[in-house]
Amino acid sequence: MKSGAGVGLVAALGLAALVAGAGSLKAGIAPASVAGLVESAPGLVALVQTAAFASALGAFAVGWGRAGGVVLLAVPVAEGIRGHPQAQAGALGVVLVAVHLAVVAVWIGALLHVIRVSIALRRRQVPSAPVVGGYARMALGLFLVVFATGTVAALVVLPLDDLSGALLDTTYGRWLLVKVGLVAAVVVLAGWARRHLRRPDAAQPASSARGELAVLAAVTAVSSALTVLAPSASADLTLAFPPPDAGPAIALGARAGYVGIGVSASQGQVVVRLATPNTADTKERSQDAIDLTGNLTGDDRDAQELEFRRCGLGCFAAPASWVKGENVVTLRVEDEQWDGGRAAVQVAWPPRPEDQRLAAVVAKMRKVKHFTLHEQTTSDTATGLGPRKRLRLTGEEYLAVGPFGSGRAATVTHYQVHRGGEVTLALGYPAESIYVLLTVDRHNRIKREVLTSGRHLITRRLTYDGPDSHEGHHHEPD
């Protein structure tokens, strides 16, 4: 068990690094990225799994085997929180995945133990039938639990009104069919292995079980692939929770009238969160009080209508097929209480993490003595960007009032390149309903900021003292 916990720890550390770096191992080991793990649900799950494997490894090292085994139960529970069934069925989905994975781990571990013991007994010319018989009885129960939980979890995720289409016409469904075929092969191999291992004249009693073990490993690999594929589901099915990002994501904000819009684009899906001005009855509103429609367009392709499903008040999720380059998500918001309207965001695909660039920008801004801030604020985009005001600030004062003063964000991605060496970064703080487009110059000074929240749209322009104050930027009169 010690070696297994060690392998699990290495895998968990790698997963945590990928989450922290938005798909980049190199970016994920940066201190700022690691610290940002606690700011997202996938990051917290990765941290829990890493801590569980590390604690179990320590317990096994000092001889506390049972304690280590109990600690390892946190791993399948955390995986259940991250899995697709949780997004569809809440706590039931977590239980299904956790039990499924825990029993599969026991099954594989027991099979490995039987192979080792059978080989040792045959070398000593001791019959291995009692060991094999005990495992066979236990394996039948394990298989039934695995089959039942896996079947229910699949039915929770897939749309029952178009089950054949979901299985045959989607990548997720086809991989699921591969998994079913491999499970059937495991059943056949298991029966053959039991008969072979019970033969008293079998020269290598463990060889027949090795095929079963190999196919079980393949089932595990396919299951891992399924976790990063977005499943198909009924378009009108309400999700219990917002689905987690599937791999690296880019978060963008917009505003339609009085409604703030947050868009999280990840592999195969888009999640939109709508926020209205804070009022006493906001939390008491029904989900039907606000509605969303939209489409997706990209280079050289027709518009794709987004089939949104609700995932909570003001939360909508839909499958999305991104193309490399620029993708435009056009949304129309309708709200019973607040004026909505139409808005669009441009998704640059694939996401390119820029956590280190944001940290460098914050470090540079802290050294700025004085600059002039030109700011406009509005709560209703239908009335324009709002009145202009001018402030004289230091870099420290400016960072103190913004969400990125720590140099971190839940997501930081490269968004756009401009003339003169300027680059725009997209920062996402979904938990606070805050999204920022931050344009910086080649000296890592901030030149423009567009901040979208549940209450306001704030546009800012920064001008600096010195001969290069307008470098790469066309001056706009106040």
Query: Does residue 265 have a pLDDT over 90?
Result: yes
The pLDDT value recorded for residue 205 is 47
| Dihedral sign for Cα atoms in the order 111, 115, 121, 126 | positive
The pLDDT value recorded for residue 101 is 84
Give the residue, 433 or 30, on which the prediction is more confident.
433
pLDDT digits (tens, 9 = 90+) for 381-411: 989 999 999 999 999 999 998 899 989 888 8
Please tell me the distance from the alpha carbon of residue 166 to that of residue 155, in angstroms, as a whole number: 11
Query: Does residue 200 have a pLDDT over 60?
Result: no
Give the residue, 206 or 112, on which the prediction is more confident.
112
CB neighbour list of residue 359: distance below 8 Å, 6 or more residues apart: 30, 32, 407, 408
State the pLDDT confidence band at 286, using cuts at 50, 70 and 90. Answer: low
Are residues 172 and 232 in contact, defined by beta-carbon separation less than 8 angstroms? yes
Say what the pTM is. 0.57
The pLDDT value recorded for residue 230 is 58
Give the residue, 392 or 469, on which the prediction is more confident.
392
DSSP 417: E
User: In whole angstroms, what separates CA 72 from the centre of its chain?
Assistant: 22
Task: Name the least confident of 24-38, 239-253, 431-445.
Answer: 24-38
The pLDDT value recorded for residue 475 is 41
Share of the chain above pLDDT 90, in %: 27
The pLDDT value recorded for residue 470 is 44
CA distances from 78 to 52, 158, 204, 216, 226 (A): 10, 22, 39, 22, 16
pLDDT digits (tens, 9 = 90+) for 367-385: 999 999 999 999 999 899 9
State the pLDDT confidence band at 280, using cuts at 50, 70 and 90. Answer: very low
